[in-house]
């Protein structure tokens, strides 16, 4: 019997997996520089956390969650998104009682039973960042800038930013009523009609062409914003412009989760086909109260690792394997292998990334392995080198080769690599 990865999932394999690691690091680096601390939450949570926090009317809750009964009879769900888990952890550990805002970032796997296609997987990876406990347009703008800087740092040039405001609890009821009145006059299936009554904004997020074709002329949330929400949104827009982040206003932009308020945004890349969103987020001032906590106005985003790798591929940025080795050691013979092994360990302890040829390869095969490794330098040790008390250091980019005394090779390589 042979086994394969389940439908809608895939394996990250070298060398492509090296790019996934590089993307995780690149997307999270701006947040780490901005003082966001790392948080890691369980891969599964109480089902109620997501049904209450994400929203009963969302496709995620009604169609896409992986839910199961524990042996103790508790209903558990593999996390379909990260924000609800982060808020739950902040509440459980009482972080809201300390300095605010609480700035956190995370990276992990998420699970949704979606129709599998290119760019849409049932097991996917995201990097996320959340700032909890402050209602400040500068915080919204900061997070958007950090995400934009993450994409820019990876070399991506084709990422577009769309922004909108969804209003607040003061002005959204009037918009909700106007939208419901419009939607009730459309030719919609029974399930969508039920959604109109529960959360009509979800209908605007419906991707089916037959639904989208009927939404022309739907009332816009931006036409119903209260004065405070208008001023808040203008401040976010102004701060983005001041920071040099280009964006486009999209008054029809809504996100697929019920907890969003005010600022909402999405990053798109046109090289991905139908699944063009590579990340997004927004403000969620009421989520803490939805899951039993105190008022904790917050804002955050999640950026897709899988789709970002695809976007980089579309822009031709995956041509070379990310360099992760500094040195590749090549022993020529058994005596050389015994002598070079502790040297490799010493180089690693000195902070260098080092691999070596295994399996008793000849010089030709070992040097091919060195070239394939992506290392900058090869460390070659043969019988004559041992007699001379030296080792050959070869620059694999220029092919320059120098004999270095064994006692000095660690310091020499540290100087070259740094």
pLDDT tens digits, 150-181: 999 999 999 999 999 999 989 988 998 999 99
Helix (H) or strand (E) holding 209: helix 209-212
Q: DSSP state, 392?
A: E
What per-residue confidence (pLDDT) applies to 321? 63
Rounded (5°) CA angle 174-176-177? 65
Residue 200 has pLDDT above 70, yes or no: yes
The pLDDT of residue 255 is 72
User: Using an 8 Å Cβ cutoff, are 379 and 353 in contact?
Assistant: no
Tokens 């956390």 -> residue:
49
Cα–Cα distance, 346 to 40 (Å, whole number) = 33
pLDDT at 120 over 90: no
Q: How far, in Å, CA of 75 to CA of 215, rounded?
A: 37
Tokens 């997996």 belong to which residue? 17
For residues 242-253, average pLDDT = 95
- Kindly state the average pLDDT of the residues 122-128: 96
Residue 324 pLDDT exceeds 80: no
Strands 159-165 and 102-111: unpaired
**Residue predicted with more confidence, 140 or 197:** 140
| pLDDT tier, 323 (very low <50, low <70, confident <90, very high otherwise) | low
Element of type H or E holding 377? strand 377-381
Spacing of C-alpha 140 from chain mean position: 18
pLDDT value, residue 145: 98
Least confident of 39-48, 86-95, 140-149, 187-196: 187-196
Structure token digits, residue 288 = 């803490």
Contact 332, 382 (CB under 8 A): yes
The two structure tokens encoding residue 169: 């609890």
Range with lowest mean pLDDT among 200-204, 219-223, 346-350: 200-204
**Contact criterion met (CB below 8 Å) for 128 and 107:** yes
Q: How far apart are CA 364 and CA 214, in angstroms?
A: 67
Q: Point out the least confidently predicted range of 55-69, 84-98, 147-161, 351-365.
A: 55-69
Residue 296 phi/psi, 5-degree rounding, is -150, 75
More confident residue, 360 or 240: 240
> Which range, of 60-64, 281-285, 352-356, 373-377, averages the lowest pLDDT?
60-64
Q: What is the pLDDT of residue 322?
A: 64
- Provide mean pLDDT across the span 70-99: 96
Q: Quick check: helix, strand or coil at residue 65? A: coil
Query: What digits encode the pLDDT tens for the residues 261-307?
Result: 899 999 999 988 777 899 999 999 989 999 999 999 999 999 999 99
| Sheet strands side by side (includes 37-38) | 37-38, 102-111, 123-132, 298-304, 277-283, 261-269, 159-165, 248-249
Q: In the chain, what percentage of residues exceed pLDDT 90?
A: 75
Percentage of the chain with pLDDT > 70? Answer: 97
pLDDT band (50, 70, 90) for residue 57: low
Mean pLDDT of the chain: 92
Q: What is the mean pLDDT of residues 245-264?
A: 86
- Residue 332: its pLDDT value, please? 92
How far is residue 45's CA from residue 233's CA, in Å, rounded to a whole number?
A: 34
Averaged pLDDT for residues 5-24: 92
Reduce the DSSP state of residue 327 to 3 states and report it. strand
Band (pLDDT 50/70/90 cuts) for residue 52 is confident
Assigned token pair, 214: 């009927």
Q: Residue 257's pLDDT is what? A: 64
Strand partners, 248: 162
State yes or no: pLDDT of 56 exceeds 70.
no
Q: What pLDDT does 92 receive?
A: 97
What pLDDT does residue 239 have? Answer: 98
């Amino acid at each position: 019997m042979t086994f394969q990865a389940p439908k809608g999932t895939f394996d990250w394999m070298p060398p492509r997996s090296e790019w996934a690691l590089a993307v995780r690091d690149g997307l999270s680096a701006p947040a780490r520089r901005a003082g966001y601390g790392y948080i890691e939450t369980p891969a599964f949570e109480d089902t109620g956390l997501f049904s209450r926090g994400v929203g009963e009317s969302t496709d995620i809750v009604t169609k896409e969650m992986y839910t199961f009964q524990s042996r103790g009879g508790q209903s558990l769900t593999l996390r379909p998104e990260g924000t609800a888990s982060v808020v739950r952890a902040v509440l459980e550990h009482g972080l809201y009682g300390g300095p605010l805002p609480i700035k956190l970032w995370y990276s992990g796997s998420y699970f949704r039973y979606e129709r599998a296609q290119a760019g849409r997987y049932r097991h996917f990876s995201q990097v996320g960042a959340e700032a909890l406990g402050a209602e400040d347009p500068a915080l919204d703008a900061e997070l958007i800038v950090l995400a934009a800087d993450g994409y820019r740092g990876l070399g991506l040039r084709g990422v577009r930013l769309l922004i909108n405001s969804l209003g607040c609890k003061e002005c959204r009821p009037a918009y909700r009523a106007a939208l419901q009145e419009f939607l009730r006059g459309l030719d919609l299936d029974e399930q969508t009609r039920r959604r109109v009554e529960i959360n009509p904004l979800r209908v605007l997020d419906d991707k089916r062409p037959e639904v989208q074709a009927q939404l022309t002329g739907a009332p816009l949330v931006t036409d119903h914003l209260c004065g405070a929400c208008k001023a808040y949104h203008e401040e976010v827009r102004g701060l983005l412009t001041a920071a040099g982040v280009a964006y486009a206003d999209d008054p029809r932009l809504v996100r697929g989760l019920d907890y969003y308020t005010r600022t909402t945004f999405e990053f798109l890349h046109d090289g991905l086909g139908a699944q063009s969103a590579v990340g997004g987020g927004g403000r969620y001032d009421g989520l803490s109260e939805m899951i039993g906590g105190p008022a904790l106005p917050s804002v955050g985003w999640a950026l897709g690792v899988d789709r970002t790798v695809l976007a980089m591929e579309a822009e031709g940025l995956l041509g070379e394997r990310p360099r992760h080795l500094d040195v590749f050691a090549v022993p020529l013979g058994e005596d050389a292998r015994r002598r070079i092994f502790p040297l490799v360990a010493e180089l690693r302890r000195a902070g260098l990334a080092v691999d070596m040829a295994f399996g008793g390869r000849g010089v030709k095969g070992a040097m091919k392995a060195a070239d394939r490794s992506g290392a900058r330098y090869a460390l070659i040790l043969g019988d004559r080198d041992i007699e001379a008390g030296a080792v050959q250091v070869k620059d694999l980019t220029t092919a320059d080769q120098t004999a270095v005394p064994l006692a000095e090779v660690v310091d020499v390589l540290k100087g070259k690599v740094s």
